[in-house]
Amino acid sequence: MTWYVLLVAAVAAERLAELVVAKRNLAWSRAQGGVEFGASHYPLMVVLHTGFLAGALVEVIGLHRPFLPALGWPMLAIVVGAQALRWWCITTLGRQWNTRVVVIPGATRVDGGPYRFFSHPNYVAVVAEGIALPLVHTGWITALVFTVLNAALLRTRIRTENAALASLS
């Protein structure tokens, strides 16, 4: 169980590192005249993702969820893969990457890296992680609740991003 707590803590630390990068990139984007879209749903995203990490721990510890190797090891591999995909997105977008939806007027749309394959590859990572991280230790309630709530949020978020990206054309 201790190793699972450490895994969730490592994912939380990764998320904090993302926020440091995002804050730096947001300042740069605003200095370049960047315009934010969809700011009203951002606090909901923060609450959902914080609740996800807390929920994974509460369910696994509070309900004494077992580690089932046949499920846990493949889910751990997916979690690691999701982190790799997330950082591939971040490095591909460079200064344009952010946890917020910010568009710099006159910027070109990035179509390299994972964006060659998917319009929104970071959300592939989020969905995969949202299912896999709790299931590493059979936290199926957290996986289910996060997946449903995240799907609703991503519907809004992807529409917002698509509208923002359309403004680049």
The pTM of this model reads 0.93
Q: How many domains does the chain have?
A: 1
Long-range contacts of 13-19 (CB under 8 A, 24+ apart): 14/83, 14/86, 15/49, 15/53, 18/86, 18/90, 18/99, 19/99
> What residues make up the domain containing 87?
2-166
CATH classification of the domain holding 108: 1.20.120.1630
Q: What is the pLDDT of residue 169?
A: 61
Q: What is the pLDDT of residue 165?
A: 87
Q: What is the pLDDT of residues 62-108, one digit of tens each?
A: 999 999 999 999 999 999 999 999 999 999 999 999 999 999 998 88
Which positions of the chain have pLDDT values less than 50? none
